Structure 1
Amino acid sequence: MIYCGIDWAERHHDIALIDGTGQLLAKRRIMDDAAGYQLLLDLLAEYGDSENDPIPIAIETSRGLLVAALRQGQRQVFSINPMAAARYRDRHGVSRKKSDPGDALVLANILRTDMPIHRPLPNDSDLARAIAVLARAQQDATWNRQQIANQLRSLLREYYPAALEAFAHWQNGLCRPEARALLKAAPTPARAARLTRTQITSALKRAGRQRGIEPEAERLRGIFRADFAHQPQLVEDALGQQMLALLRQLEAVCIAADELAEASEASFRQHPDAETLLSFPGLGPQTGARVLAEIGDDRNRFADARSLKAYAGSAPITRASGKKHHVGRRMIKNNRLHHAGYLWAFSSLTASPGANAHYRRRREIGDWHAQAQRHLFNRMLGQLFHCLKHKTLFDEHQAFPSSLVVAA
């Protein structure tokens, strides 16, 4: 048996090949280009790599062109966490010195000694990988949008409280196109107070508003002309310039989030598992795309529902040592899937009577809101694993039989 370890870097990669006894067979350094990838494949073929019997490879990343080239065919590629690799490094030397060829040898030895306890990269379809790219990018854009909106809100509190009061009752507040259009037209309170009803109406129309424009313009005009505290004029103008810079960032990330949402939804609806995911209460196209992006469509990735629940962080973990016994929530988990699960469980409370009854029952026995939500997400994950495995749709009566009786 031959094992390969690759120490990944930005410009070059170090390769080590060992046999079943740990004897070093070959080591190379290749560049991060097509010629380097071909040199790696030729080296593997020289030591017996074939389509039916590929050499397993360990590397410290799961992304990039090198990994994409290695994942062709039936080859097993193991993504080793850098922290885990650092622990293995201590087994081969006590000096704590690090070298790229030595790390490649350590990665190869990880497969030689402990390959059964490490999980290879899932064999997801190309469509599932594309959905993962779009869904994660849209999730990042959503988080960035909220972060910039919070920065803008903090800045407006320093000199422009009228804007916060004007947009307070709008859903999504500063992220709405109407709010961005008005702030662009009046970046300071002094300029907002001089806005006419016609100018406010035009700004609302440019932002795409179609209903209730006249009364909304009158309400906004009254708030902008109300009596508020002001900064000195020079300071106010400077803060207005800072606000416009943040506003441009917010507008760009809002557009990016919307475009990525459309692209991820379009790709998600093409996937065969989309019908099963959308049959679950609380799962829409965006949340469903995020869930599919993290669990993939490789049915051999998770041995059972418990593995999926542990991966999502919804299942509790038990730690016992001597007389101490502790059951708590998992800290090491897929954070993206865990975040999507919280939104899924929260939305299912109004879409499913059984889910709502399950949540209420957990609250009655003493669970906090987050605990009850996590317990509901844990149960829904088990049902999702069953439906995906057997290619069936969600059935409320089978999912929550006792809860529906209690609710009735």
Structure 2
Amino acid sequence: MHTHYAWFLGIDGGYEAHQICLMDATGLIVMERQVAHDAAAVQTAITALLERTGAAPAQIAVAIETPRGALVATLLERGFAVFALNPKQLDRFRDRHTVAGAKDDRRDALVLADSRRTDPRAFRRVQLDDAVVMQLRELAHAEDDLKRDLGRLTNRLRDQIYRIAPAVLPLCPAADEPWFWTLLEQAATPAAQRALTRTDVLTLLKRHHIRRLTAADVLAATQAPAFYLAPGVAEATREAVELLMPQIRVVAAQLKRCEARQEDLLTVLRERPASEAEPGEHRDVEILESLPGVGRMVTVTMLVDATQPLATRDYDSVRAHVGVAPITKASGKRRVVSMRYACHPRLREAAYHWGRVSLQHDAASAAYYRRLRARGHTHGRALRSVVDRLLRILVVMLRHRTLYDPIRFVIPVAVPA
């Protein structure tokens, strides 16, 4: 059921200024103006809107592309009904007003207001998230940034080692492990590596709890014959490594801190008293974590990137956001079912790891996966189906406020005759 609004405000957000378009229920444009991205200017514009319409904020439907930010928070705080639209859908609505492909800020603001007036079902209501969830979202995005930064730095480190001592790279091909960083801090050049003793290596491996390699393995790599190096190459590479290592250590420490902080906030959600929580908020975390294959990364990603679908217990929306719902294209006798690409990339990645780990810890998921593979499904498609099944179970659990019970999904064992 949709609420009927008397006024519709389209906002094309910008970095320095926002373009707004106000129209009434008949589609008549009554105001167009540009508003600077400034708190005072926004408040002035809101006052002008209320005076022009004579309506309460709740009677004005605001349409916007980006569902978060200072402007959106201000509008929600003032009581406006804010709705978001996918940019691809906005592009389709824009074709209604021009077939020539014209695009500008004024036109986009108009299209947003008019499409919210004529096609309310295409929009989703924007609500302020819980404060803890908002903190988790920023930390999750910061974790992604830190992982990318660490990857860039370790790639540069690997390139430097490849120049002078490629024989040690098989010990840590990606050059992304702390024990390997310590080894390079102690001995970055072939000459320094050849000077390492068995005691040095044993101490290093023991300090970092490395069991997959022995001292003999490390010494065999460090004592291997080296390439001839032009004068100055080893010294230049050593200095480059010495410049990279502090950066790598700092980013790695920040990444650990970010992960630990996420764990702290998840604990807050788990232990929050019911009187302080949003309806079912902390219980949602417990329910999600009870599923097989769900760890910190999957829990945080689902909470921060599928907030609204989980809150509304909307299974179809959740599976579409995650990317496990297939796309069907049918015309006449032709019917093609393909993988969905229009989804949230972070949710897709989390779903992949969720499905992969669930196969290792849940007999029902593993049996379902084997049946799908036997029917000819690829590994990726089978994993998506496994996650789709788990999402269906999750939504039912959320609706009934129950935890996952593996006993209900025990695979019967055939008894030999």
Fold equivalence (TM over 0.5) = yes
The alpha carbon displacement at 1:228 in A equals: 3.2
Change (3 A) 1:385 1:136: farther
The aligned residue for residue 135 of structure 2 is 130
The aligned residue for residue 78 of structure 1 is 83
In the alignment, structure 1 residue 260 sits paired with structure 2 residue 266: no
The alpha carbon displacement at 1:187 in A equals: 2.5
The alpha carbon displacement at 1:196 in A equals: 4.5
Question: In the aligned structure 2, how far is the partner of 1:98 from the partner of 1:368?
Answer: 42
1:246-269 Cα distance to aligned partner (Å, 9 max, x none):
544433332222111111111122
Question: In the aligned structure 1, how far is the partner of 2:259 from the partner of 2:228?
Answer: 39
The aligned residue for residue 193 of structure 2 is 192
Residue aligned with 2:97, SS: coil
Residue aligned with 1:3, SS: strand
In the alignment, structure 1 residue 359 sits paired with structure 2 residue 369: yes
Contact 1:131–1:267 (8 Å) recurs in 2: yes
In the alignment, structure 1 residue 317 sits paired with structure 2 residue 322: no
1:207-262 Cα distance to aligned partner (Å, 9 max, x none):
x53688xx955653443122233442433443444444554443333222211111
Q: Which amino acid aligns with 1:347?
A: V
Change (3 A) 1:308 1:299: closer
Change (3 A) 1:369 1:152: farther
1:93-131 Cα distance to aligned partner (Å, 9 max, x none):
355444323322222112112222222235532222222
Could you list the runs of 5+ residues in structure 2 that have no partner in the other structure? 1-5, 270-281
1:100 corresponds, among 80, 105, 120, to 105
Contact 1:3–1:17 (8 Å) recurs in 2: yes
Change (3 A) 1:146 1:373: farther
Q: Which amino acid aligns with 1:127?
A: V
1:254-297 Cα distance to aligned partner (Å, 9 max, x none):
22221111111111222202211111111122321122222216
Instruction: Quote the RMSD (CA, aligned, Å).
Output: 2.9
Change (3 A) 1:128 1:66: same
Residue aligned with 1:135, SS: helix
Question: In the aligned structure 1, how far is the partner of 2:331 from the partner of 2:238?
Answer: 59
The aligned residue for residue 176 of structure 2 is 175
Of 142-151 and 336-345, more deviation after overlay is shown by: 142-151
The alpha carbon displacement at 1:198 in A equals: 5.9
Change (3 A) 1:230 1:382: farther
Question: In the aligned structure 2, how far is the partner of 1:305 from the partner of 1:377?
Answer: 12
Q: Which amino acid aligns with 1:252?
A: V
Question: In the aligned structure 1, how far is the partner of 2:87 from the partner of 2:168?
Answer: 47
Contact 2:16–2:36 (8 Å) recurs in 1: yes
1:353-395 Cα distance to aligned partner (Å, 9 max, x none):
1111111111122122212111101101111111122211011
Residue aligned with 2:336, SS: strand
Change (3 A) 1:34 1:73: closer
The aligned residue for residue 405 of structure 2 is 395
Q: Which amino acid aligns with 1:294?
A: D
Of 196-205 and 252-261, more deviation after overlay is shown by: 196-205
Residue aligned with 1:356, SS: helix
Q: Which amino acid aligns with 2:172?
A: F
The aligned residue for residue 412 of structure 2 is 405
2:292 corresponds, among 281, 305, 309, to 281
2:221 corresponds, among 213, 223, 230, to 223
1:333 corresponds, among 323, 343, 346, to 343
Q: Which amino acid aligns with 1:59?
A: I
1:296 corresponds, among 288, 307, 311, to 307
1:281-324 Cα distance to aligned partner (Å, 9 max, x none):
1112232112222221665545x322211221112121102221
Contact 2:309–2:315 (8 Å) recurs in 1: no
Question: In the aligned structure 2, how far is the partner of 1:223 from the partner of 1:142?
Answer: 28
Of 54-63 and 231-240, more deviation after overlay is shown by: 231-240
Question: In the aligned structure 2, how far is the partner of 1:12 from the partner of 1:225?
Answer: 62
The alpha carbon displacement at 1:336 in A equals: 0.7
Identical residues among aligned pairs (%): 33
The aligned residue for residue 66 of structure 1 is 71
1:156-197 Cα distance to aligned partner (Å, 9 max, x none):
3343223213336xxxx6322211122223222233223345
The aligned residue for residue 308 of structure 1 is 318
Q: Which amino acid aligns with 1:80?
A: L
The aligned residue for residue 56 of structure 2 is 50
Could you list the runs of 5+ residues in structure 1 that have no partner in the other structure? none
TM-score by length of 2: 0.84
Q: Which amino acid aligns with 1:289?
A: V
Question: In the aligned structure 2, how far is the partner of 1:48 from the partner of 1:265?
Answer: 48
Change (3 A) 1:94 1:281: closer
TM-score by length of 1: 0.86
Change (3 A) 1:306 1:199: same
Question: In the aligned structure 1, how far is the partner of 2:251 from the partner of 2:90?
Answer: 36
Question: In the aligned structure 2, how far is the partner of 1:314 from the partner of 1:166?
Answer: 37
Contact 1:264–1:286 (8 Å) recurs in 2: no
Residue aligned with 2:412, SS: helix
Question: In the aligned structure 2, how far is the partner of 1:299 from the partner of 1:356?
Answer: 25
